[in-house]
Amino acid sequence: MKRTVICPGSFDPVTLGHIDIISRAAKMFDKVIVAVLVNSSKKPSFTTEERIELLRKALAGFDNIQIESFDGLLAEYARKTGANAVVRGLRAVSDFEYEFQMSLTNKKLNPDLETIFLTSRAEYMFLSSSIVKQIATLNGDITNFVPECIHDEIKKRLASNV
Ligand code: ADP
């Protein structure tokens, strides 16, 4: 049986923290679906198309990763795509409560769906899309936080938001 996992998120924009989790998942599973959440309650800074395009460029070297947008319930999306698991990254204790609640809810809605947590690499513990946006809009250096191939694009796009 082919093992498919979903990495859901806002990716607004994708950071090295995301890439770390996604690439580790790609080693563990046959196929990874990176699912970009459309109707996020957080108002995204990048459009869904922009977020997908940045992910495509950043993950171009992988042949078992598929990038899609998704809307609605993750438990249903997993059923539709035939995924058996969801991977989420855990940074600090502050992530835990929300993630635990989501995982239990998804299990209730789709008992076949497992949630796997990968701990963040120590150097990315503090890293989030919001931090990248804050630094870039203040014209700071985001070199160590986003993939090199999309660095200039993110920087330019966020600088124009000031
Ligand atoms: P969401 O709004 O669903 O949390 P994000 O884009 O913020 O979407 O995150 C998507 C996934 O990537 C989540 O599982 C999140 O925990 C993980 N993630 C984000 N940043 C990091 C990081 N620096 N280290 C590890 N995991 C991370």
Q: Domain holding 19: CATH number?
A: 3.40.50.620
Give the whole-angstrom CA distance, residue 46 versus residue 52: 10
48 belongs to a structural domain: yes
Q: Which residues line the pocket of ligand 1, CB cutoff 6 A? A: 8-11, 15, 17-18, 21, 88-89, 91, 95, 120, 124, 127-129
156 belongs to a structural domain: no
Residue 130: is its pLDDT beyond 80? yes
| Closest C-alpha to ligand 1, atom 8 | 9
140 belongs to a structural domain: no
Single-letter residue type at 92: A
How many structural domains compose the chain? 1
Distance 4 CA to ligand 1 centre (A): 19
For residues 91-114, average pLDDT? 93
Strand ranges of the sheet holding 4-9, from the earlier edge strand across to the other edge: 65-70, 31-37, 4-9, 85-90, 114-119
98 belongs to a structural domain: yes
Residue 103: is its pLDDT beyond 70? yes
Mean pLDDT computed over every residue of the chain: 94
- pLDDT tens sequence across 78-93: 999 999 999 999 998 8
151 is catalytic: no
**Single pTM value for the model:** 0.95
Reported in sequence order, the residue ranges of 58-112 that DSSP labels E, i.e. its strands, are 65-70, 85-90
Least confident of 6-10, 23-27, 136-140: 136-140
The sign of the torsion formed by the CA atoms of 94, 36, 7, 13 equals: negative
Q: Band the pLDDT of 40: cuts 50, 70, 90.
A: low
**According to the model, what pLDDT value does residue 161 have?**
57
159 belongs to a structural domain: no
Residue 159: is its pLDDT beyond 90? no
Q: Which domain holds residue 47?
A: 4-122
For residues 27-44, average pLDDT? 91
Distance 88 CA to ligand 1 centre (A): 7
Q: Tokens 């800074």, residue?
A: 45
